[in-house]
A and B are shown apart, each in its own frame.
Chain A
Amino acid sequence: MNSMTTRAERKQKIVLQSIAFIILGIAFVGLWHELKDARATGGQPASEAILLSALSSLLNNLYIVLSMSLVAILFGIACAFYLEEWLPATNWIRRLIENLIAILTGIPSIAYGILAILIFFSYADTLKEAIEAFPLSENIEAIPSQIETTVFYAEALTFILMVMPLAIKKTQEALRSVATPIREAAYVLGASQWQVLTRQVVPIAFNRILAGGCRSMSRAFAMAALLVGIYTWHYTTEPGGMSGRFILFLSVALVLSIFSSTLIWVHGPDSAQHS
């Protein structure tokens, strides 16, 4: 019975990973075509330039990346608590969301960056027209800032799509790592679900949740670094081709990733099981 379920799970995992890789492939092919066309026409349409520079200037801001991913991570942690602690494992919504999360976390952050750029490329003109048709945008000078707002929301959505599933998955793993006997020991003393959660589960799982949050944020910075890198490489003629921001973001991503691994390593992979 047990080996059967693990086999089924393995099969499911393979399918989900393949879907993720197909999306990655499509993203690469798409980007290749877009960039080739842009190079062939010898420049870039004005709207695209505005959009990309808006995007890049947004991402250039460390605090925006930080706050966007922080909101997504906190929301993800809350979602994980709800899924893991309140919804029964057999609930179809929970299973659907968990499958979606498995697909979304399987996609490397590079694919998200590329997809985000592709979407901005493809809809650049439509986006501009939509903004121009908007009654408030009669004053032509207002357009760039409005585009920036649109890009901001679009970018925030990409972040949520990328960071939240990972935060949910890592938090769920952390909550599952708290052994059932510890919960039961508290339940038999008459603790309510909320008391068990705040007094037993969260203190034990805290390091893992923190590590998961760092891992997710590292992913966000990796994507931001990628977008900034592509923008610099494609649209500026700076010697060297790599901006300081690119390096900064990449190092932040690396440091966060190492920090999260260290957290797990220091406290032991199954320290929660034995305590």
Chain B
Amino acid sequence: MLSEKELSILSIRNLNIWYGEKQILNSLSFEVQQKQVTAFIGPANCGKSTLVRCLNRLNDFIPNFRSTGEILFNGIHLGASTDTTALRKQIGMVFRKPIPFRCSIYENVAYGARISGINQSAHLDTVVEENLRKVGLWNEVENILDETPKQLSIGHQQLLCIARALAVEPEILIFDEPCGELDPIETVKIETLVRELKNDCTLIFATNKRRQAARVSDIAGFLYCGELIEFGATEKIFTNPQDNRTEQYVTGRLG
């Protein structure tokens, strides 16, 4: 038990979230373990995106967003005084829809290094090659690094976005339904990649595909109507759920 506590990188305690008057999340508490894949499953509009966007403070841009409770990252409380720019360098994110920037493939991957003020081309070259290799895209784009990412397939664009996020060297990488727009073959690539990335950083994975969560995650949480119904080892959630609603969801009778 003690060793588990030591490995916990994110602790969420009693988190409540409102958009205006509407409560989206209702007193969530859980711990995210280091170097593990934590997946959140649940039907559409159950608050998965809201939850993961909370962790890197992306909800701050929403005008009537309000939250109570505690989020501890490496034991440090994320409050109003947190430096969100530094925080987001440590907690990266990949969205449902790949959003490559309008610059070249090279500049896309080098973006994180450039904004940190690194401009030596030798260093940038290594960063770009290393991260493109990591996502398995280097062979495809090696000769078209100076061209726009628009010509890549949507799956390759998503891989590029993952490479771009990895180039910042985050401690935690959040995937918000990364395969929502991809075909099955590209989905398999991303899932394999997620399993591999586990060795480098902690991963949080939000998805509404239960089988995908079962394939990629070590720990899973079932969200339903803004409540965390069940949270624990993926195997246990899928084979021996404690809550009736979880069982109904994983067997496909709910949501």
What is the interface of chain A, defined by CB distance below 8 A to chain B? 88-90, 180-192, 195, 199-200, 203-204, 275
Chain A residues positioned under 8 Å from B150 (CB to CB)? 275
Counting CB contacts under 8 A, is B11 at the interface?
A: no
Q: Indicate if the CB atoms of A88 and B63 lie closer than 8 Å.
A: yes
Counting CB contacts under 8 A, is B240 at the interface?
A: no
- CB neighbors of A among B53-111 (8 A): 56, 58, 61, 63, 85-86, 88-89, 92-93, 95, 97, 99, 101-102, 111
Closest B residue to A188 using CB positions:
B93
Q: Indicate if the CB atoms of B85 and A185 lie closer than 8 Å.
A: no
Q: Indicate if the CB atoms of A89 and B63 lie closer than 8 Å.
A: yes
Assuming the contacts A88-B63, A90-B63, A181-B97, asked whether A189 and B112 have C-beta atoms less than 8 A apart, the reply is: yes
Distance in angstroms from B132 CB to nearest chain A CB is 16
Can you identify 27 A-B contacts, CB atoms within 8 angstroms? A89-B63, A90-B63, A182-B99, A182-B101, A183-B61, A185-B99, A185-B101, A186-B111, A187-B58, A188-B165, A189-B111, A189-B115, A189-B164, A189-B165, A189-B168, A190-B85, A190-B89, A190-B115, A190-B116, A191-B111, A191-B115, A192-B115, A199-B111, A203-B102, A204-B102, A275-B102, A275-B150
Please encode chain B, from 159 to 176, with 1 for each CB lying within 8 Å of some chain A CB and 0 for all others. 001001100100000000
Closest B residue to A190 using CB positions:
B89
Q: Indicate if the CB atoms of B58 and A184 lie closer than 8 Å.
A: yes
Chain B residues positioned under 8 Å from A181 (CB to CB)? 95, 97, 99
Assuming the contacts A190-B89, A203-B102, asked whether A184 and B95 have C-beta atoms less than 8 A apart, the reply is: yes
Between B85, B86, B164, B168, the greatest number of chain A beta carbons within 10 A of the residue's beta carbon is seen for: B85
Q: Indicate if the CB atoms of B58 and A200 lie closer than 8 Å.
A: no
Distance in angstroms from B232 CB to nearest chain A CB is 28
Q: Indicate if the CB atoms of A191 and B102 lie closer than 8 Å.
A: no
Interface bin, chain B? 20 to 34
Distance in angstroms from B90 CB to nearest chain A CB is 8
Cα separation A189 to B150 with both chains bound (whole Å) = 20
Closest A residue to B56 using CB positions:
A188
Closest B residue to A193 using CB positions:
B85
Chain B residues positioned under 8 Å from A203 (CB to CB)? 102
Distance in angstroms from B159 CB to nearest chain A CB is 15
Q: Which 3 A-B pairs have the closest CB atoms?
A: A190-B89, A188-B93, A185-B99
Cα separation A180 to B95 with both chains bound (whole Å) = 12
Apart from A185-B161, A200-B101: 20 A-B pairs, beta carbons within 8 A: A88-B63, A89-B63, A180-B61, A181-B95, A181-B99, A183-B61, A184-B61, A184-B95, A186-B101, A186-B111, A187-B61, A188-B56, A188-B93, A189-B111, A190-B115, A191-B85, A192-B115, A199-B115, A204-B102, A275-B102
Chain A residues positioned under 8 Å from B99 (CB to CB)? 181-182, 184-185
Distance in angstroms from A177 CB to nearest chain B CB is 14
Closest B residue to A204 using CB positions:
B102
Chain A residues positioned under 8 Å from B88 (CB to CB)? 187-190
Chain A residues positioned under 8 Å from B92 (CB to CB)? 188-189
Cα separation A271 to B58 with both chains bound (whole Å) = 25
Please encode chain B, from 30 to 66, with 1 for each CB lying within 8 Å of some chain A CB and 0 for all others. 0000000000000000000000000010100101000
Distance in angstroms from A85 CB to nearest chain B CB is 11
Please encode chain B, from 102 to 137, with 1 for each CB lying within 8 Å of some chain A CB and 0 for all others. 100000000110011000000000000000000000
Chain B residues positioned under 8 Å from A200 (CB to CB)? 101
Distance in angstroms from B34 CB to nearest chain A CB is 20
Between A89, A180, A183, A187, the greatest number of chain B beta carbons within 10 A of the residue's beta carbon is seen for: A187
Cα separation A187 to B85 with both chains bound (whole Å) = 8
Chain A residues positioned under 8 Å from B116 (CB to CB)? 190
Cα separation A195 to B89 with both chains bound (whole Å) = 14
Distance in angstroms from A81 CB to nearest chain B CB is 17
Between A180, A186, A203, the greatest number of chain B beta carbons within 10 A of the residue's beta carbon is seen for: A186
Cα separation A90 to B64 with both chains bound (whole Å) = 10
Assuming the contacts A88-B63, A89-B63, A90-B63, asked whether A188 and B101 have C-beta atoms less than 8 A apart, the reply is: no
Distance in angstroms from A198 CB to nearest chain B CB is 10
In-complex Cβ contact of A190 among B63, B101, B112 (8 A)? B112
Cα separation A200 to B63 with both chains bound (whole Å) = 21
